[in-house]
Amino acid sequence: MRDYWSIINQKDRAYFRGKPYDAIPGLVELFKSKKANKILDIGPGFGRNFIYLAKKGFDVYGFDSSKLAVKELREKIKKEKLNGHIILHDMNKKFPYRSNFFDAVLSISVMHHSKYENIKKIIAEIERVLKKNGMLFVSAPIRPHKREKAKKIGYRTYVYLEGKETGVPHFFFNEQAARKLFKNFGLKIKLVNKHNQLDKRKTSNRLEILAVKK
């Protein structure tokens, strides 16, 4: 699989080095109110959410499959003397953390980059590393981009046939699928309409899922 972060242009890179995802400030307040401190950011890329959380005083962990992203994020952590831990790792493999380790887990525009069967395993790993009553926040699109050709390869799963993510599987959540996948969690699910992250002329429907481990 191609390293996404190495092929996007400088304008796109600047976006992913910028402001955090817009739900993050509210999550910071929620985490603080629940005294959650140890946070896992799955696939942080260049670290816009990771760095924001670390600067807010959280003990932030993360892994990414991109050598470029991990290298840059490590340099940022060192330069700014933050409490952050980033490693190179594939989310489709067993997470390199002990059970009941984290107070909260984030997956923002990450988890859906896999097939349905793999996503079930990813969620099982999240459940394993989360403490009881630990929180999970997921943001993911609900349908393929209209302007890029995509081929269906399984249950709610497509691969793009063109563009930066050619060949990468994408699972598109809906409420029914989310409730089935997160059956061991208490859920709050919200459908939101957001401007496209990289093209403000476009909008995209996304599911935001706030889950609590039972």
- The per-residue pLDDT for range 165-181, each reduced to its tens digit, is 788 899 999 999 999 99
pTM of the entire structure? 0.89
Sequence-separated (6 or more) residues with CB below 8 Å from residue 112:
119, 140, 141, 170, 171, 172, 173
- What mean pLDDT value characterizes the chain? 88
DSSP letter assigned to residue 116: H
User: What's the CATH number of domain 4-144+175-213, 1.25.40.10, 3.40.630.10, 2.30.42.10, 3.40.50.150?
Assistant: 3.40.50.150
Whether 199 shows a pLDDT value over 80: the answer reads no
* Domain ranges within the chain, ordered by starting residue: 4-144+175-213
pLDDT in tens, 27-57: 999 999 999 999 999 999 999 999 999 999 9
The angle formed by the CA atoms of residues 52, 55 and 56, to the nearest 5 degrees, is: 90
In angstroms, the CA 192 to CA 75 distance is 34
**Neighbour count for residue 195 (Cβ, 10 Å):** 12
In angstroms, the CA 6 to CA 9 distance is 8
